Structure 1
Amino acid sequence: MATSHGEQLERLERSLKEALAIVQATPRQDLRAQDWLETAAQVGTHLSESRDALAEVRQDVVGGARTALLLYFRSHPGETLHPHQLEGVAAIRAWARRIRELRGIGWQIDTLGAGAEAPYRLAASHLEETVATSESTLESIGGKNPGERLIEYLLHISPWPASPQQLERVAKTPTWRQEIRELVDQGWLIQSHDDAPKEIPPGHFRLANLEG
């Protein structure tokens, strides 16, 4: 079932408009240091509100910041991605830490240069099967609820299918199949044996169409 995010998006729009209004009201000439500091402080407050609104929507439609970053990388394999893009996707200040966590799991994410402005690139479009299906990958999964944990795991393991045993361990609930159905209803393209009988064993599931 689709969920409305009108309130969060209105909050995002309002905070950005208020930040813009503060900038527009700032004198273009004879700008004093103290006046600028007050302007910068107010703009910073509204940008923080904008990040909070982004994070609320991200949590609802994708899940945690690490999952959002991985989904964005996997949607843009081999592309050069700027830190500002990645911070927007993660909607948290500690986004670089989440990238380090992804590298620790096995994702080959390159930093193209040095310094805070250096861009990133996902060098390999997916994990090797032995890494994707490993015990360490399974144990690395976080998430506040079963749906979040299932999506993160399916995102790590794709294009390989996940077994019922793996999915139940990740979801931490025997009703994980219902969680899968709810994720499908939310728009996630999760395939079963019925969708690809030659590629997906019975009872297994796979998250599809990540790289297009």
Structure 2
Amino acid sequence: MARRSQQSNPEQLRIQLITLLENFESELKNEDLRSQVIELVPAYRLLYDLGSSLVTENIPAARDRIIYYLKKYPLTIINGEEIMVVAGISEWARRVRELRVQLGWSIITGVSALEMANEGDLEIEGLDVSTMKPDQYMLINTEQDREAAHRWNVANGIRKEKNISVQEKLLKFLRENVGRPVTGEELRYVAGDKSEWARRVRELRTEQGWPIITKQTGMPELPVGTYFLELDRQAPVHDRKIPDSVRGKVLRRDEFTCKSCGWKIDDYNRADPRILELHHKVHHAAGGENTEENLITLCNICHDKLHAEENRKKNGR
């Protein structure tokens, strides 16, 4: 069983460590390798103890020290070596995974951050997340997600399915969680850790019309790095080619509010799971374009009513 680091007075540990290293000078003259290694073991343990003791609160568990450190520096790029020092154990990476999978802390890796950033789904003011390295981490939400363990269990089942494409797995997971936010790390796991996952999610939104939104594309209150399938239905074919940049500008211009009934994105709840859509003032069939001037924000209820009314008039009813 791996030794757990012992929290103590950092200054006392520092002095003990210096003493051990000074005494090791004589051991360097010893040509027996094993003897040298054995003499270094206490120093190795003291260094782990010193790292864990930098967290001055009495937090005996490595996992708890890790989340304490990450919560102290949210939305900050943290090196894996930092976590190793605070954890005081060699198995710190496993503890990070436990925090994410079992306990619902939104910790992303540099790999996932880069993939999301490349698709425009991860933007943090004043921080270039595209520079994150694979062995770096970031806590993107300081609130614990109690439903995460269930979602990871669902994700594990979908990930193992055979004869189904990455995109189909992603859509299945999103539909299993309609009306609930999921993280990029969960989606990456569902995709079998394939780097294409972020692009496939984007295609589901922009090419197939699934109402998957992020903080950048329609729901500002969502945590960064989070995806949200608003409704289990695809948008009409003619609405699927609206560029995200145009969609975002129209939604912001209309203050994320239906211009017909006044429903706002802040009013979303599962009992009334409507979503915001963009309506073409001049339809595609009549030469209308995907421009800000030709688009207006409507909730899906008002959007459907408007098209139904137009169809009745068209058919002379």
TMscore range, shorter length: 0.3 to 0.5
Q: Higher relative contact order by CA 8 Å / sep ≥ 6: 1 or 2? A: 1
TM-score by length of 2: 0.31
Higher strand share: 2
TM-score by length of 1: 0.44
Higher helix share: 1
